[in-house]
Amino acid sequence: MPDTRTIDVEVLRYQPGEAAEPYTQTFKVPFTDDMSVLQGLQYIKDHLDGSLTFRWSCRMAICGSCGVMIDGVPHLGCRTFLREYFPGPIKVEALSHFPIERDLVVDAGDFIDKLPKIKPWIVPKEPRTLAQGEFLQTPAQLERYEQFSHCINCMLCYAACPQYGLDPKWLGPGLTALLHRYNVDSRDGAQAERMDLVHSEEGVWSCTAVGYCSEVCPKAVDPANAVNQNKMASAVSFFTRFLKRGD
Amino acid sequence: MAIRRTYVRPMAGWWKRNAFFKRYMAREVTALFVAAYALVLLAGLARLSQGHDAFEQWLDGLRSPLSIAFHILLLAIFVYHTYSWFTIMPKTMAPVVVGGKRLSNAAITGMGLAASAVIGIGFFVFLKVLAA
């Protein structure tokens, strides 16, 4: 390989049944300037230790599978380059705040179970027949939700959210951003149902505005903004309900 | 199918793991100093209600070197409090659209900081004029 350098990659490994706790194993990985951390892990699996377990699919930051902690920061392995960490060592761990299934694979069951609760689809505001044509939307209406629709469900924001780590009941930054994406869509009519979740114990009031979720998002979504806009919506709804109590 | 035995990592000391979390905790801690200074002012109000002499005593207390050192420390902490909250402010608001364009986060933070500087310095000058 041309212009090859070598870096020590310290991987947090966990093999249930073989070791009671995770341990660190160091691999010497030769790399070129264009090699991502994911490619480094693939090198380890292909040439050094075939038992290393990790998730990946698209290699182009759209499938959201290869999220790992790199030197303690949540990143997608495919869009983070080994050269940035030279001379190293570089520490790779499973995403924080999730139970480790094996090596770098986390149990995402909690996220998957919560996903349908936010109704991540457009519930049409009014029934329309095909003959009535499509719902039209202005650029300003698109702007209200567009950035939130870029979420790829990679869960890096969960690994960045200490409140989720402390209490996984919390719906969390990513799903709240996705909930907000549908709630502010002019075509959608299910805001009232989703707001029940926003107000609940699992809802937005678990957030203490750490703001790290928005820092680590690989798609420049701002989950902290979605969460905090919904705190405002939740507070307004609470007080207007209080005022309307006499009805 | 193999039995799943997942490993849950402990959260103890989580905020020491990352510089961002340390800055967040520092921001949260500043609130305690804001509360402490509210108590200092409340004590002044209580002394005022006890009459002129009592209030003068409280004022003398504020002029002690220890109190001045405490105030300089508090000023530094309050500046960080202001800076850190205006930094997070854009994340807490609905988008602000001016002339069809969304106001950037930096503009919102900048305006907040500028407003606090103008109000802070303006109030200081106002008190100086009042005292003269």
Question: Measured between CB atoms, does B20 come within 8 Å of chain A?
Answer: yes
Dist. CA A219–CA A190, nearest whole Å = 26
Q: What is the pLDDT of residue B56?
A: 95
Structural domain total, chain A: 2
If you average pLDDT over every residue of chain B, what do you get? 93
Give the residue numbers spanning the domain of A161.
Answer: 109-246
Q: What is the pLDDT of residue A26?
A: 98
CATH number at residue A230: 1.10.1060.10
Dist. CA B37–CA B32, nearest whole Å = 9
The pair of three-digit structure tokens given for residue A89, joined into one six-digit string: 């060592």
Type and span of the H or E element at B33: helix B19-49
Q: Are residues A132 and A240 in the same domain?
A: yes
- Domain B19-131: give its CATH code: 1.20.1300.10
Which residues in A lie closer than 8 A to residue B94 (C-beta atoms)?
229, 232
Dist. CA B131–CA B127, nearest whole Å = 6
3 state SS for chain A: CCCCEEEEEEEEECCCCCCCCCEEEEEEEEECCCCEHHHHHHHHHHHHCCCCCCCCCCCCCCCCCCEEEECCEEEEHHHCEHHHHCCCCEEEECCCCCCEEECCEECCHHHHHHHHHHCCCCCECCCCCHHHCCCCCCHHHHHHHHHHHHCCCCCHHHHCCHHHHHCCCCCCHHHHHHHHHHHCCCCECCHHHHHHHHHCCCCHHHCCCCCHHHHHCCCCCCHHHHHHHHHHHHHHHHHHHHHHHHC
pTM of the model: 0.91
Which of B8, B17, B92 shows the shortest C-beta gap to A228?
A: B92
What is the distance of C-alpha B116 from the center of its chain?
Answer: 11
The last residue of one of the domains, among A78, A106, A134, is A106
Q: What is the pLDDT of residue A31?
A: 97
The last residue of one of the domains, among A91, A106, A121, is A106
Which residues in B lie closer than 8 A to residue A23 (C-beta atoms)?
none
Q: Does B66 have pLDDT greater than 80?
A: yes
Dist. CA A166–CA A162, nearest whole Å = 6
Which residues in A lie closer than 8 A to residue B17 (C-beta atoms)?
72
Q: Closest Cα of chain A to B104: distance in Å? A: 13
- In this predicted structure, which of A179-183, B73-77, B96-100 has the lowest mean pLDDT? B96-100
Query: Do A225 and B92 lie within an 8 Å CB cutoff?
Result: yes
Query: Do A212 and B21 lie within an 8 Å CB cutoff?
Result: yes
Query: Do A16 and B28 lie within an 8 Å CB cutoff?
Result: no
| pLDDT tens series, chain A, 247 aa | 568 999 999 999 999 988 889 999 999 999 999 999 999 999 999 999 999 999 999 999 999 999 999 999 999 999 999 999 999 899 999 999 999 999 999 999 999 999 999 999 999 988 889 999 888 999 989 999 999 999 999 999 999 999 999 999 999 999 999 999 999 999 999 999 999 999 999 999 999 999 999 999 999 999 999 999 999 989 988 888 777 655 4
Query: Do A211 and B102 lie within an 8 Å CB cutoff?
Result: no
What is the distance of C-alpha A17 from the center of its chain?
Answer: 29
Q: What is the pLDDT of residue A146?
A: 94
Assembly ipTM: 0.89
Q: Does B124 have pLDDT greater than 70?
A: yes
For residues A70 and A92, the answer to whether their CB atoms sit within 8 Å is yes
Which residues in A lie closer than 8 A to residue B21 (C-beta atoms)?
162, 210, 212
Q: Are residues A14 and A96 in the same domain?
A: yes
Q: Are residues A118 and A220 in the same domain?
A: yes
Q: Are strands A67-70 and A73-76 parallel, antiparallel or unpaired?
A: antiparallel
Q: At what angle do helices A173-183 and A223-243 cross, to 10 degrees?
A: 60
The residues, ordered by sequence, that sit 6+ positions from A123 with a Cβ below 8 Å of its Cβ are A182, A188, A189, A190, A193
Instruction: Identify the CA nearest to B116 among candidates B82, B91, B68.
Output: B82
Q: Are residues A91 and A115 in the same domain?
A: no
What Cα–Cα distance (Å) separates residue A59 from each residue in A52, A80, A94? 18, 11, 18
Q: Are residues A80 and A164 in the same domain?
A: no
Which of A16, A72, A99 shows the shortest C-beta gap to B8?
A: A99
Q: Are residues A102 and A114 in the same domain?
A: no
Which residues in B lie closer than 8 A to residue A210 (C-beta atoms)?
20-21, 24
Dist. CA A62–CA A151, nearest whole Å = 9
Q: What is the pLDDT of residue B2?
A: 61
**Region B32-55: what's the mean pLDDT?**
95
- What are the percentages of helix, strand and coil residues in chain B, rounded to 5? 75, 5, 20
Q: What is the pLDDT of residue B19?
A: 95
Which residues in B lie closer than 8 A to residue A16 (C-beta atoms)?
3-7
Q: Are residues A124 and A222 in the same domain?
A: yes
CATH number at residue A54: 3.10.20.30
What Cα–Cα distance (Å) separates residue A13 from each residue in A9, A18, A45, A165, B10? 12, 11, 13, 20, 16
Q: Are residues A241 and A147 in the same domain?
A: yes
The last residue of one of the domains, among A49, A72, A106, is A106
User: Would you call B103 helix, strand, or coil by DSSP?
Assistant: coil
Q: Are residues A44 and A146 in the same domain?
A: no
Q: What is the pLDDT of residue B82?
A: 95
Q: Are residues A217 and A132 in the same domain?
A: yes
Dihedral sign computed on CA atoms, order B36, B81, A214, A181: positive
Domain boundaries, chain B: 19-131
Query: Do B28 and A222 lie within an 8 Å CB cutoff?
Result: no
For residues A180 and A222, the answer to whether their CB atoms sit within 8 Å is no
Q: What is the pLDDT of residue B48?
A: 96
Between vectors from CA A233 to CA A227 and to CA A234, what angle results, nearest 5°? 85
Q: What is the pLDDT of residue B101?
A: 85
Q: Are residues A128 and A230 in the same domain?
A: yes
